[in-house]
Structure 1
């Protein structure tokens, strides 16, 4: 048995604007369970970066601990990568981002890594509006330790052993909107048509972008009584169709007035989405929270782009950092010298 990917690709395989085939954006062979939703998310990231014509070496991918945190090995093998300790990925992402603002940061986490041990770190990276895409592969259980309920497991959902969860879940999308995230989306790993445009929009967003992706665990949380199963998600998913139009393409409206919302991003690209409810404003926090709560009260899960703040200040704007990445400066440029340090200290007395 071999675990080496074949190098052969069809000579007529499509290429992107950089002349790369999709193969350039792939990673190693997955060791996750066959059918795991996480692999679908990895494939969506590959497609999104391919379609955006991003050079893999311009991407830094970061993760913590868990099944989800293994997935960066399965996409963009030519990118930078850091696998941190449990729940501490936001700190590593913050340090790396402050040192080199020119990279595209993609953090991959899980419901345990984010909503349990990492909840404090998650909250602070949200409120600081770090310029990154933060993907939560949310399956409602701890797959590496035999399927115990996680903090996102819905109240009343049963695990594989038949135990009923009696605790209230943490809704990461609603929490992120509440504490200041400037881009919040939710999707389902089984909905490729919605997920890929959302990832492309999140990467293009300037500021912190959260994507909470329901990703069923086929081994421990894909049975009939689970609210994170494929069957349940297909029944309760209330999808908001999304289309992402890069700035290099002509941007035209193709829907009837009143049925769509077009959001222009800072780089000139456009996120176009069909609105289920014309009273729902994705650029108003309270409206977004009320919409998510309304669908949840009906036993449904609203997916799509839930909230966006287009003209936000990301962390580099707030700190007024140098436009030149710190990792490109030498010691003389980074150290101001004792005289200047003395004057700074004197001004703080």
Structure 2
């Protein structure tokens, strides 16, 4: 084979992924087109992830009072109360200030539900990570969750990563937790929905772990829980308009897949140290709000849809301003 022919084939091979990237970029840019309806904004069903400082003794009643001024449109908060040990156990030493927090919270913010956020890295092939396929491990996870609900938390918010698409053990954990905690809120932070067919395979090949869930698996999770919060950040999109389009696509898909009885939260990145540097420029609370509003406009009103801000200890004044202006008090431009 001549050098010219080799170069020709190399050029063709290189052009294929580049073409796919350009097609996806064009698709996301189209998803970002249009003007949100004036009614497409917060309905008071928003959420906030809170760091571990709230349960380990670093936060006080005064901090609850300060935070209360931020939470005018929040219905839920998820307080990091783990992590779990590799065998699923949740030692009480992980949350020594939880009882105090609950007392302060319910006195100051009785209308905002407070759930315990539990999670761990999932890897059945590594003894240092959680294995949800082990029934005894799941039983210990559920026991920890029940202990926290009995302590006074309004619910449990799970966030295990990475979880393979179709993982039956994660679904089993949801069923077992529901049986244990009864009518308490059962919430889950979900992987992103596969935006186009083949994206999960491509990401697993490049990144070495799953990133997306299929629409069907997302639907199953939504049917088993009271609330799903999609982690719509670290999207790898390089431009603000593409991130806005990405959120619009995720929201549109989730609106079709999530039962009306299940709350749907769209994750908004109130942090600035993304895994991929370009996302620090592209991703913002404002763009997440805009994408959500565009999808909601096309779908029609849904009362139990909101934004979920990640995370309190990294959120800047600009993040809070964008949340207020672009979502809570948004209006047609």
TM-score bracket, normalised by the shorter chain, equals: 0.3 to 0.5
TM-score for the superposition, normalised by structure 1: 0.33
Using CA pairs below 8 Å that are at least 6 residues apart, which structure has the higher relative contact order?
A: 2
Hey, which of these two has a bigger chunk of helix by percent?
2
TM-score for the superposition, normalised by structure 2: 0.34
